[in-house]
Structure 1
Amino acid sequence: MSVRLKLALSYAGFVTLAGSLVLAAVLVFLRCYLSDGVLFTFSRLVPNRPDPLHAFAPVAAAVFAFLLVFGVAGGWLLASRMLTPLTRITDATRRAANGSLSHRIQLEGRKDEFRELADAFDTMLLRLEAHVAEQQRFAANSSHELRTPLAITQTLLDVARNDPNRDTGELVDRLHAVNTRAIDLTEALLLLSRADRRSYTREHVDLSLIAEEAAETLLPLAEKRGLTIETSGDITPTNGSHALLLQMTTNLVHNAIVHNLPEQGTVWVTTTVHPETVVLTVENTGEKLAPQLVSTLVEPFQRGNERIHADHAGVGLGLAIVKSIAQAHDGALALTPRPAGGLRVTVQLPAAPPHTGR
């Protein structure tokens, strides 16, 4: 049976049961308070009328039948009216299943359970539509980025084939550089997919030690570019993947080094602990950045106009990977342009109890 029919029958059964109880109460009242003497007197005074107890039976049957019909009809109408919002929600669900994510229920009326369900469904559709659009942009950008090194490789091979006397050493060097970039891009895409799936084992880690490790690893690059790395902060315990959190921190420090002043620049790496969160902050000197540009840097393959052809510019997934790793650890990422120039990146993660080593 449909839900509408079940509601109608339930309503009819309730109305009929309530009416039957009322009729039974009246019958009990008549039996208790109308004595035999009263009934005898009534029959002598009204000889052509049956006694009230016998007359009550057909009336009760008629009322019972009326209540049953009324309950079914009224229950069906009420159920139809009550289930109208559910019909709209079902229609929106079918449209979403067929690929139409732009449809919204937008249920009017008072805020009841159906309105809350419809609003929650609209919110889900909104987020799902944004997520699908983001994935489509990511797939298109990934295809474009992966096609570029392959096209360059094809061009270099065509040139070498058409010019047998060309220096093969230069060709090998260029092919090696292009192949390295393609490998880096592929590994970055795999790492991003791994972070999105949250396929890692959680363990107790100290974010301050990870920050020191990342800074020490990238110190030669900073010295080569004439930069200074300053690390400071508290012990910041959290739970997560050491490898992913190290990759996240390394990406942040690497970006801070690459996108810095040509010389005499500085990178600050700081960790702080709060009652419920731990915070990693990476700041760097550099050119002044517009807030509109900063808000797009976490999108995949968004580097900014001046960053595309810089040395060690990466594959355009650095901050996208940082964002995915932070979200995979139930954290949040925030980017803020520094007033004096450069960028401040803050990663906030849930804090963990200090590790006792037992």
Structure 2
Amino acid sequence: MDRGPGLSVRLKLTLSYAGFLVVAGALLLAAVWVFLLRGSNSLYVPDLSDFLRVFDPRSFGPAVFVPAAILVLAFLLVFGLVGGWILAGRMLAPLTRIADATRMAADGTLSHRIRLPGRRDEFRELADSFDTMLAQLEAHVAEQQRFAANASHELRTPLAITRTLLDVANDDPNRDTGELLDRLRVVNGRAIELTEALLLLSRADQRSFTREHVDLSLLAEEAAETLLPLAEKRGITLDVSGSITPLVGSQALLLQMTTNLVHNAIVHNLPDGGAVSVATTSSRGSVVLAVANTGDRLAPELVSTLTEPFQRGSERIHSDQAGVGLGLAIVKSIVRAHDGHLTLTSRPTGGLTVAVHLPGPVPHGAV
């Protein structure tokens, strides 16, 4: 929510209490002017009977002024406590709404928002920040729920196929076991691949890895060399370029990230005559890995969902290199674990450009 500038809470409280004290002082000075200027300059210590004489309109002088001043001060004290309590309550009322929203969030209600009205001050900024946090947390929980549902579905598929094959073999003892074993091996391999991908994704999300100095350009060359036979099989030109790009991170995870990007670029490409380019660059405090490929034109709304787990294009389902639908999701998690960010851009001529931006190594002697 965009707000205009406003007075800070501290300044509001200062002005409120200062104004209240000015009013109280004015009342005190008025009392002094009324009583002291008409009385004696000598010091007078009242006794109990003087307090009773305050209410006698015929009495006047120090014997009346001093008890009257004490009564005025007592009145100002009570008035100040009550007025200060009311003013502080009005000033701090937004905290009640924030506390209520916090309790609702603690009970699991993440859809509630504070939406504190008024101009921007400390309380409004706190409420807006809390609303933003709730929105991000709600989106994260929804993403995790979708991920759990999709993972359960993906894991159930090979298990269901395995049970079907075993039931068929049990009903037909004369069936060729060699064919059955081959199909079971394929299904089992897919289940293992999916499980390993889920473990890798969890490892990246938890950031449970050792950081070391890595040259991202060497990892790009290694990934391209590993996937070169696949590119040649599909008739795709694979080009790698770039300078030394040092950074600090997990070599295993960064290699997996690079391999996933190059593999996706090869698989999601033209049937023949396509191209994939891998480039690494280094600038002030950051390194960039860009992987671009040819292919069909992609709608922007489709591009924005490609990094979600188990998201596949229609052509990917029937591909011989279908994978498990976690390639870009793993890339996104690895990039996030290394404090970087990922951008996907649809190319006007068809295909996709994926750019990974990662922080470079901290120079020696820098704080």
TM value normalised by structure 1: 0.85
Q: CA 1:111/1:353 → structure 2, altered by over 3 Å: closer, same or farther?
A: closer
* d(CA) in 2 for partners of 1:70, 1:231: 79
Tell me by how many angstroms 1:72 deviates. Answer: 2.0
Structure 2: gaps of 5 or more residues = 1-16, 44-56
1:227 matched to 2:236? The reply is yes
The aligned amino acid for 2:158 is: P
**Preserved CA contact (<8 Å) 2:311 2:325:** yes
Match for 1:258 among 244, 249, 267?
Answer: 267
1:326 maps to what in 2? 335
1:291 maps to what in 2? 300
String of CA shifts for 1:154-180, please: whole Å, max 9, x gaps.
100000000101111111111111111
Match for 1:131 among 140, 155, 165?
Answer: 140
SS at match of 2:288: strand
**Preserved CA contact (<8 Å) 1:16 1:71:** no
* d(CA) in 1 for partners of 2:304, 2:59: 91
Alignment of 1:145-294 (within 5 A): 145-294=154-303
Tell me by how many angstroms 1:120 deviates. Answer: 0.8
**Preserved CA contact (<8 Å) 2:28 2:72:** no
1:315 matched to 2:324? The reply is yes
SS at match of 1:218: helix
Q: Percent same amino acid among aligned pairs?
A: 71
* d(CA) in 2 for partners of 1:354, 1:150: 51
Match for 1:81 among 87, 90, 95?
Answer: 90
Structure 1: gaps of 5 or more residues = 1-9, 37-47
**Preserved CA contact (<8 Å) 1:227 1:264:** yes
The aligned amino acid for 1:64 is: L
* d(CA) in 1 for partners of 2:321, 2:249: 28
* d(CA) in 2 for partners of 1:88, 1:71: 26
Q: CA 1:86/1:179 → structure 2, altered by over 3 Å: closer, same or farther?
A: same
1:34 maps to what in 2? 41
String of CA shifts for 1:271-327, please: whole Å, max 9, x gaps.
011112111011112222222221111111001112112111110000000011111
1:345 matched to 2:354? The reply is yes
Q: How many residues align?
A: 333
Tell me by how many angstroms 1:264 deviates. Answer: 2.2
String of CA shifts for 1:178-197, please: whole Å, max 9, x gaps.
11111111111111111111
The aligned amino acid for 2:74 is: A
RMSD: 2.9
SS at match of 2:354: strand
* d(CA) in 2 for partners of 1:301, 1:118: 35
**Preserved CA contact (<8 Å) 2:285 2:362:** no
